[in-house]
Structure 1
Amino acid sequence: MESYLRKWCLVSVLVLLLGLGFKAKADPQVPCYFIFGDSLVDNGNNNRLISLARADYFPYGIDLGRPTGRFSNGKTTVDEIAALLGFDNYIPAYSSVSGQQIMQGVNYASAAAGIREETGQQLGQRITFSGQVENYKNTVSQVVEILGDENSAADYLSKCIYSVGLGSNDYLNNYFMPNFYSTSRQYTPEQYADDLISRYTNQLNALYNYGARKFALVGVGAIGCSPNALATGSPDGTTCVERINSANRIFNSRLKSMVQQLNNYHPDAKFTYINAYGVFQDIIANPSSYGFSVTNAACCGVGRNQGQLTCLPGESPCPNRDEFVFWDAFHPTDRANTLIAQRSYNAQSSDDVYPIDISTLAQL
């Protein structure tokens, strides 16, 4: 009897230890995560394009161990959001995804892409918003094939989150580039925002018609505070360029209103607005609160405050990257991206999102 008890105790301890060491990982909060956007979230789709808008070279990706096509020293906001949602891996780029991988989502984002078709064309090839939507339609066909019928695919896709963040290039690489584009002569900032929102709405409705039901729409950031804007348009190199930020705020206001209209128009879907502009402005206004010491210069690049061009191939970036808000002339560092993502996922303020944050969206 004593021998039996000893064996039973030993088995119980082994089971407990195994249980502690090999816990089953919980499933992600949503079955899949689809991403549409520009260089802020591109994770390699432009690597195979004939384009100046590429980041598949060192020092990009220095803190990931290699360049991946991300315009950052490390992660982008959607990489962090994917982790917060419980995914084991980053969402794969459309250019490299295959087979069953698509069932956890796809990243369609393309550097230099805009809502308007011509946006970014001076930089070469890019996949516009409409092109990204077409690529998503191809993915839906594959999901239908994998699951066996359209109803099963529709049910599956309705549970996924769709992150859309476009519009930055429609200002950076269109409206505020009069030598290449005529839009600033054709439209007032209000008219231009209305035009962008009209086109944006059409593409969102196309995504809705192909199964999307949970939308997180990311507003345009404070582009007038980027090192590039400071280097080229700020008199003292530190004051944000208001004419750019003012136009960005008009677009964001229209985008927020569009969210309310779409929620009314599609009662079986949920749209939410992510106030990236507000979060970013908070970080820039209170850098020490977030552990940053440099807000008006880039960690790598050339020109005034390293803000006129993106990182050059082989360039040695600053060693104290976590102290910088900006990695290059336009894009945040890994650490800034992480902070923006965390407040998008779990809002710290009622101003961060409208009407709900991404963690709440995932639970619907």
Structure 2
Amino acid sequence: MRGILAVIVVMIVLMGMVECKKEEAKVACYYIFGDSLSDAGNNNQLNTLAKANYPPYGLDFPGGVPTGRFSNGLTFVDRITELLGFKEYIPPYSTAKGKQILKGVNYASGAAGIRSETGQHLGERISMDEQLKNHAVTIAKLLWYAPLTGLLNLKKCLYTVNMGSNDYINNYFNPDHYSSSSLYTPEEYAELLTTQYAVQLKKLYYLGARKVAVFGLGLVGCSLGEIYSFGTNGSLCVDKINYAVQLFNEKLIGVVDDLNSKLSGAQFTFIGSGGSSDTGTAVVNAPCCKVREDFQCVESNTVCEDRNNYIFFDGYHTTELVNILAAETAYSAPNSNAVHPVDIKTLISTNKHFIANPSSTSVSSE
């Protein structure tokens, strides 16, 4: 009898251990860099038009309160946070306090870009260079809160970076405020951007990052703001913008390969667009909210009723459902052509170094 009880006790303990393991996050921490697609409120206190801390933004976010997220609900990084097993969303740098930083920080800023001048006509924003400086400050604080484990965990953390959209929307294709389109061809500009981006990503590596998911740009020319601004000349989207963005994505894949081949232990991966989220019935030609001249929502509580059937919440930013689908595709890509070399689920589960060769990118022991 005592033997049976002992076995039962051991089983209960083991089951408890399994349950505890299930509750643990899949990575030690998660650090987020990007623009308005990832911003969780860093722009709220800045002097800028690029902020979303008013209704109807956040209508479907837990609590129904606008937090500074440019959507009706979750952003794609919020859903990734859930998939990673974190109990709380990663806090924005502007409000992160104390030991919160041990689990990660969100540095993303609406209107931010790879180039420092990008988005300046809208007001203050935190460029990629500035976000890296903020991350360095965070690392210094880690020395205080967790002198050993904090720094050691940096190599085990997930980092996501989505930058570049504003370098086209609020720079290259905004000639009223920026001269870049008169100085560079689309090919030259893509080369200029990705060269600067490579330097920034390398800085992130030297700050301890190893597992880095770099997001390519979506079809910027299919956003309502660009379609309304430029027209489509009979096409579904603004073709010249999508062409320019495609050049950037192609060069960015080369940057990822180059970083993996030259940096010891580097695990950079490119996450491309997951493809269309239109089921054939979704509303693609109108935003869910009434928009201002800059295509952000007018402050109001009046929005479309069936938000899950809309692609765009405002003129540029997608609805929560689209964000969730994009995150789930990035995390576990059903189509290997959308990632290079791996999806996020594979990225966080392997400790092997990614090595590029001329024909493909493979994973091998370091």
TM-score norm. by structure 1 comes to 0.88
- TM-fit CA distance, 1:315: 4.4
1:299 aligns to 2:288 (yes or no): yes
Contact 1:231–1:308 (8 Å) recurs in 2:
no
Match of 2:257?
Answer: 260
Correspondence for 1:311:
297
Q: Of residues 324, 333, 355 in structure 1, which corresponds to 2:341?
A: 355
**Maintained 8 Å contact 2:291/2:314:** no
Quote the residue 1:130 is aligned against. Answer: 129
CA offsets, 1:244-264, max 9 Å, x none? 000010000011111111110
Q: What secondary structure does 1:216 align onto?
A: strand
How far 1:23 moved relative to its partner?
A: 4.7
Distance 1:219 1:358 in 2: 14
Match of 1:339 in 2: 325
For 1:198, which of 191, 195, 198 is the aligned residue? 195
Task: Tell me if structure 2 keeps the 8 A contact 1:81–1:342.
Answer: yes
1:208 aligns with 2:205: yes
Q: Match for residue 154 of structure 2?
A: 157
- C-alpha displacement of 1:297: 1.5
* Contact 1:225 1:296 (8 Å CA) reproduced: no
Q: 2:39 aligned with 1:42, yes or no?
A: yes
On the 8 A contact 1:57/1:69 being kept in 2, the answer is yes
CA contact (8 A) 1:345 1:358 kept: yes
Q: Structure 2 CA distance, aligned partners of 1:35 and 1:247?
A: 25
CA RMSD of aligned residues (A): 2.2
CA contact (8 A) 1:272 1:354 kept: yes
- Number of residue pairs aligned between Structure 1 and Structure 2: 339
What is the match of residue 322 of structure 1? 308
**1:238–1:296 Cα contact (<8 Å) kept:** no
Counterpart residue type for residue 60 of structure 1: Y
Deviates more, 1:24-33 or 1:177-186: 24-33
> Which of 274, 277, 286 is equivalent to 1:283?
277
1:244 corresponding residue in structure 2: 241
> Aligned residue for 1:4?
none
Letter in 2 for 1:230: I
CA distance in 1, matches of 2:181, 2:76: 30
Q: In 2 relative to 1, CA 108–308 (structure 1 residues): closer, same or farther, beyond 3 Å? A: closer
Q: Is the alpha carbon distance of 1:359 and 1:228 closer, same or farther for their aligned partners in structure 2, counting shifts above 3 Å?
A: same
CA offset digits 1:78-130 (Å, max 9, x no partner) = 00001011111111100000111001100000000000010000000000000
CA distance in 2, matches of 1:43, 1:302: 20
Aligned residue in 1 for 2:145: 146
CA contact (8 A) 1:37 1:113 kept: yes
| 1:71 corresponds to 2:65 | no
Q: CA offset at residue 235 of structure 1?
A: 4.2
1:178 aligns with 175
Cα distance in structure 2, aligned partners of 1:220 and 1:123: 21
Following TM superposition, by how much is the alpha carbon of 1:198 offset from its aligned partner in structure 2, in angstroms?
1.2
Runs (5+) with no aligned partner, structure 2: 351-366
Matched residues in 1 for 2:91 and 2:283: separation? 32
Query: Which amino acid is 1:147 matched to?
Result: A
Q: How far 1:283 moved relative to its partner? A: 2.2
Which whole-Å CA distance do the structure 2 matches of 1:211 and 1:302 have between them? Answer: 41
Distance 2:234 2:151 in 1: 51
1:273 aligns with 2:270: yes
Letter in 2 for 1:253: E
Q: Percent identity?
A: 46
Distance, in Å, in 2 between the alignment partners of 1:200 and 1:232 is 27
Is the contact between residue 259 and residue 271 of structure 1 (CA under 8 Å) also seen in structure 2? yes
Render the CA deviation track for 1:283-322: whole Å, top value 9, x for unaligned.
24xx23xxx521122111337xxx9621101141101000
Measure the CA separation in 2 of the matches of 1:235 and 1:27: 48
Task: State whether residues 232 and 239 of structure 2, in contact with CA within 8 Å, keep that contact through their aligned partners in structure 1.
Answer: no
1:155 is displaced (CA, Å) by 2.0
The 1:158–1:301 alpha-carbon spacing in structure 2 relative to 1, beyond 3 Å, is: same
CA deviations over 1:19-78 (Å, ceiling 9, x no partner):
89x953421110100000000110000001010000000000000111000000000000
